Amino acid sequence: MTVIVTGAGGHLGRLVAEELLQRIPPERVVLVTRRPRALKGFAARGAQVRYGDFDDPASLRQAFAGGQRMLLVSTDAIGRRVRQHRTAVDAAVAAGVGHVVFTSVVNPVARSPLGPIAWEQGRTEEILRRSALTWTILRFGSYAELQLPPAAVAVKNGRLYTNGGDGRMVPVSRRDCADAAAAVLTTDGHAGRTYDITGPEAFSASALAALFTAVSGRSVGVVELSDRMLTLLLVSIGTPLPSALSVAAFGRAVRRGYFDVVDPACERLTGRPPASLRDVLVSRRADLLAAR
């Protein structure tokens, strides 16, 4: 069985590649990227590294040749992802790939405050369901590692600014997402299944502030803001407006419950409990305290 990983040069793709090399012979691992030279270390270990560009259908058909299962890692081209993902699915069908595992997001619905960040994933899920492929969908919660920058700012200022209200989020580490993906790619029984891959615990803003305080040793309080005020604050400290709007949209999604999903699927797939947000922050405590 040959397993393909798209987006193999990214954070998640590299972690999946590492896990696959522990599970199957390296020559059965195909890593697809726009920058093959960036993966020369994996090539030296025996993995096949191939060029593939989601905006170049012919390159994908060549890159996917000979693969039986494939991890379709969602691209970061917001606004173009549906077309890119459809191109990848069509290329997988043409290349004879039998099963595709797609990295989606929890609650990928059109009404989500995240806008295209969410609904483009939902559209891709529909494309897969209607394709000639068998499929598995992994809906990831928010990456725990993405909490590190706002945590560092909160620790520095002693305040966690939020528009999340009483909403809760369930951070999950990239490592756990990668391990769950590798498990699905290398075992049977997952066709037609959708899994929510989340961490073990939901956090409100006050719970996050308490955790930041405990890990850093510095007191962090919560300051609740409206969507508009949070956006203006972020812009005032140099955040580009599109990024500020995205942060506010994420907080709005948290406030409305779109990220309040705790599911045991990750542990069932990997055979071990997922890392907690505390685990992730403790492992990066030096970075947490680096902001001055």
The reply to whether 207 and 283 lie within a common domain is yes
The reply to whether 209 and 109 lie within a common domain is no
pLDDT average, residue stretch 128-150: 96
The reply to whether 8 and 74 lie within a common domain is yes
pLDDT tens digits for 216-244?
999 999 999 999 999 999 999 899 999 99
The reply to whether 146 and 43 lie within a common domain is no
- Residue 179 inside a domain? The answer is no
Specify whether the CB–CB gap between 173 and 199 falls below 8 A. Answer: yes
The reply to whether 47 and 161 lie within a common domain is no
- Among 140, 156, 182, the domain-final residue is 140
- Among 140, 163, 187, the domain-final residue is 140
Distance CA 49, CA 35 (A): 9
- Residue 243 inside a domain? The answer is yes
Into how many domains does the chain fold? Answer: 2
pLDDT average, residue stretch 86-112: 97
The reply to whether 127 and 164 lie within a common domain is no
- Among 89, 117, 140, the domain-final residue is 140
The reply to whether 146 and 108 lie within a common domain is no
The reply to whether 220 and 123 lie within a common domain is no
Range of the structural domain that residue 252 is part of? 141-172+199-260+274-292
What mean pLDDT value characterizes the chain?
Answer: 96
pLDDT average, residue stretch 180-184: 98
